[in-house]
Structure 1
Amino acid sequence: MSDQQIGRTGRLYGVGLGPGDPSLMTVRAVEVIAEADVIAYHCARHGRSIARSIAERQLRADHIEERLMYPLTTETTDHPGGYQGAMDEFYAEAAARLAAHLDAGRTVAVLAEGDPLFYGSYMHMHKRLAHRYPTEVVPGVTSVSAAAARLGTPLAEGEEVLTVLPGTLPEEELTARLASTDAAAVMKLGRTFPTVRRALERSGRLAQAHYVERATMSAERTAPFAEVDPESVPYFSMAVLPSRRGSTAGEPEPSSEARRGEVVVVGLGPAGPMWLTPQARGELAAAEDLVGYATYLDRVPVRPGQRRHASDNKVEAERAEFALDLARRGRRVAVVSSGDPGVFAMATAVLEAASEAPYDQVPVRVLPGLTAAQAAAARAGAPLGHDYAVVSLSDRLKPWEVIAERLRAAAAADLVLALYNPGSRSRLWQVGKARELLLEHRAPDTPVVLGRDVGGPQERVRIVRLGDLDPDQVDMRTILLVGSSQTRAVRRGDGEVVVWTPRRYPAND
């Protein structure tokens, strides 16, 4: 649009009014309302508008008022396009009404509670009009900021993550996001309150949650979320989970003897935070003590107030007892494992110790993680698409004779094999011996996936023939996926080689 064309039209403003108290309007918001010819605002079918009531003292008798009345307030409608169709039609009609004023050269100010582009109705006008007319958005204080101010507690500190969620999300999604974040605000309560409460409870965050209703307005109310009557909750309310660090400020710390500790064994997945489940992320953030092999602990962000207890990779039993002893003293302990803690990792060591006195009364939970086998398989295609077996080649905790017997049995059964712990500086011969055993049952051209540091900065995934498998190319950070007689390595049209094992197995003749 040329400057000449712009000069012939009016100007559109999206005006943020703040959370409700007229004194929290910005100077710029007051200036824009004073300059505007047309004041537009959304309202429900009863005709009342919170946005208009906030700005009422700034309105003049000569202002043209455009009341944009929603056609419905629930998702029940006989519109042929359903709820979304009815709303789209309404927004299109409202935009057309404002466009008529703009085309006539009038300045239009669309009022919005809070900030215009933060869950506000103005954004629907903005998307339909801002590319056609000169437009300015005047930011406003959000309801989230107002709620935190009224609670008098920090929302997020340092490197904490603040998550803002609509309460209309499915319960499972709310639960996952609440479990994984440091701080949160859940908006749009009203009829979603029971769902949000269940999500807070399931994520273990209910005790930390605050309820804030109509922050900065005359009918403002705050309370512990768990104590609120669902029947009393309006739409303009929210749940607030403040900073984990700031939420206990000023509160007496209960003694260790007065608290019941627990141990949570957490699977970190094969690499960094992209592979971490929301539940695991939340438990790591909530822990008072982190216990684990130093290399794995380094993958967990440092949080002020948490104690980190690193140890060598060969002291699993001692590490488990140390964690359980901390929990006996009332500490909330997370024991970290790479991949899944139940697959050649710390869950067994912790549960073994926790099954005997003096630790058999300590609560223990195990949180799953994505395994190295799954990660490497996904990078290569789908080599684990049929039955498979998982075997560790380490003879540190079991004799090689047992390993060899299991390899022969799995190979004879024509199972795909996921081979963990294939080699190290002190174990150089196992891979070569395993290859010899497998070649007794598998063709030399059987595909083998070598996945090293999958998900990490030194990731390398290669596909070789079983007969060409070089033990010198394998170390402890490598996992081997050895195909069955049915596994295929196929070069696709784009040149990429993918490995997959059919789900169907040929019937016996």
Structure 2
Amino acid sequence: MTQGILYGIGVGPGDPDFITLKAVSILSRVDMVFAASSAKNSHSQAAEIAKSHLKASVPIQILPFPMTRNKQAMETVWQDNAGTVIEVLEQGKNAAFITLGDCMTYSTYGYLLKSIRKLAPHIEICSIPGITSYQAAAARINTPLVEGEESMTLLSGVMGGDKFREISDHADNVVFLKAYKNAGDIAKALDEAGMAENSVGIVKCGLEDEQIVRNVNVFQEKKPDYWTLIISKKSGHFIES
């Protein structure tokens, strides 16, 4: 039997209109869809975005991924979930693993991809890029991410602002993804670098309860929502929206 193809698909940052035509085309013909959720619940924003593009007969299976820094525990989860996906593919079914934003940018899919490559190197995999949250956020506030010979640094905010502190002297433009948990320390690090006044926080970009926070120092007093990113510029200015 011929194995199915796995499609890793970025479905965009949240606004259903930001899913690509190629992603829609593939979702309309796959036999199975997988999406990730926290181990604490079975909610998947990616699944909410994608479901209107699926045939009614196509099942969506949510794979839980616990948020832990225990490397061994995570390895076990990656292996188990990869095995679940491989089982479907080896039945000859085509499947999609959907993820918010871009499938190759701070994505659960990247870890799953490595596990499937290790366990079943014969499986064909096709990755479909998506619009990232920071692209959507920059467009929302009408502000270029980079211009001319500027550079842009993309950082995870999960561990706070220390990584930024290491490179702040060389950063022209900085984007912090996953900024919610340690947004206060990120704001503090930006303030230390003299960049806080030229920083903007975007919460739930493209969703109904979106917020644009033009004073990121408020994050030092109150932790924002999970769907939070921060864009900061060393020079130049944000355009008021």
TM-score in terms of structure 2 length: 0.91
Which residue of the other structure, out of 56, 59, 72, is the alignment partner of 2:51? 56
Aligned to 2:81: 94
Determine helix, strand or coil for the equivalent of 1:159.
coil
For residues 239 and 199 of structure 2, the distance between their equivalents in structure 1, rounded to whole angstroms, comes to 15
* Aligned 1:185-200 pairs, distance under 5 A: 185-200=175-190
Q: Deviations over 1:115-134 (max 9, x none)?
A: 00000111112112244311
CA distance in 2, matches of 1:228, 1:195: 8
Q: Which runs of 5+ in 2 are unaligned?
A: none
User: Following the alignment from structure 1 to structure 2, what is the Cα–Cα distance between the partners of residues 230 and 23?
Assistant: 34
2:191 equivalent to 1:204: no
> For 2:83, what is the secondary structure of its paired residue?
helix
SS at 2:222's partner residue? helix
Structure 2 letter corresponding to 1:106: K
Aligned to 1:134: 124
Instruction: Give the equivalent residue in structure 2 for 1:37.
Output: 31
Question: Which of 98, 107, 111 is matched with 1:111 structurally?
Answer: 98
RMSD: 1.9
Residue 23 (1) aligns with residue 6 (2): no
Equivalent residue letter for 2:7: Y
SS state at 1:215 partner = coil
Aligned 8 A contact 1:179 1:204 in 2: no
What SS does structure 2 have at the residue aligned with 1:164? strand
Given that 2:184 and 2:220 are in contact with CA atoms closer than 8 Å, whether structure 1 keeps it comes out as: no
Cα distance in 2, alignment partners of residues 170 and 64 from structure 1: 38
Q: Do 1:154 and 1:243's aligned partners in 2 also have CA atoms closer than 8 Å? A: no
Using the TM superposition, give the Cα deviation of residue 231 of structure 1 relative to its aligned residue in structure 2, in angstroms.
3.1
Inter-CA distance 195–249: structure 2 relative to 1 (3 Å threshold)? closer
Q: Which amino acid aligns with 2:218?
A: E
**Cα distance change of structure 1 residues 84 and 230 upon mapping to structure 2, 3 Å threshold:** farther
SS at match of 2:182: helix
CA distance in structure 2 between the partners assigned to 1:147 and 1:239 by the alignment: 9
Say whether the 8 Å CA contact 2:195–2:233 is kept in structure 1. no
User: Does residue 152 of structure 2 align to residue 158 of structure 1?
Assistant: no
Report the alpha carbon displacement of residue 181 of structure 1 after superposing the two structures with TM. 0.8
| Kept after mapping to 2: 8 A contact 1:156/1:243 | no
Alpha-carbon distance in 1 for matches of 2:90, 2:187: 48
Deviation at residue 242 of structure 1 after TM alignment: 3.8
Distance 1:159 1:40, change over 3 A: same
Please tell me the residue identity of whatever aligns with 2:111: H
Residue pair 1:163, 1:184 contacting (<8 A) in 2 also: yes
Q: Please tell me the residue identity of whatever aligns with 2:123.
A: Y
* Alignment match, 2:133: 143
Question: Structure 1 counterpart of 2:174, which letter?
Answer: A
* Cα displacement (A) at 1:46: 1.4
- Paired residues, number: 235
In the alignment, which residue of structure 2 is the partner of 1:244?
Answer: 235
Quick check: 2:185–2:220 contact (8 Å CA) kept in 1?
no
Mapped pair 1:123 → 2:110: yes
| 2:226 is aligned with 1:226 | no
How far apart are residue 61 of structure 1 and its match? 2.7
Q: Which has the larger radius of gyration?
A: 1
Measured at CA, do residues 127 and 180 of structure 1 come closer, stay the same or move farther in structure 2, by a change above 3 Å? same
Decide whether the 8 Å contact of 2:9 with 2:23 is kept in 1: yes
Alpha-carbon distance, 1:170 to partner: 5.8
For the residue of structure 2 that corresponds to 1:98, the secondary structure is helix
* Residues 162, 189 of structure 2: 8 Å contact kept: yes
Higher relative contact order (CA 8 A, sep 6+): 2
The ranges of structure 1 where at least 4 consecutive aligned residues each deviate by more than 6 angstroms after the TM superposition are: none
The aligned counterpart of 2:8 is 14
- Contact conserved, 1:40 with 1:109, CA < 8 A, in 2? yes
Q: Given residue 240 of structure 1, which amino acid in structure 2 is its aligned partner?
A: I
Deviation of 1:219 (Å): 1.9
Offset from partner CA, 1:461-485 (integer Å, 9 cap, x none): xxxxxxxxxxxxxxxxxxxxxxxxx
Per-residue displacement from partner, 1:37-74 (whole Å, max 9, x unpaired)?
Answer: 0100001221111110111211333113221012x335
Tell me the distance in 1 between the aligned counterparts of 2:15 and 2:122: 33
Change (3 A) 1:19 1:145: same
Identity among equivalent positions (%) equals 25
**Paired position in structure 1 for 2:67:** 73
Distance in 2 (alpha carbons) for counterparts of 1:172 and 1:125? 28
Measured after TM superposition, the shift of residue 24 of structure 1 is: 0.8
Contiguous gaps of at least 5 residues in structure 1 = 1-6, 76-82, 251-509
Mapping of residues 463-502 of structure 1, within 5 Å: none
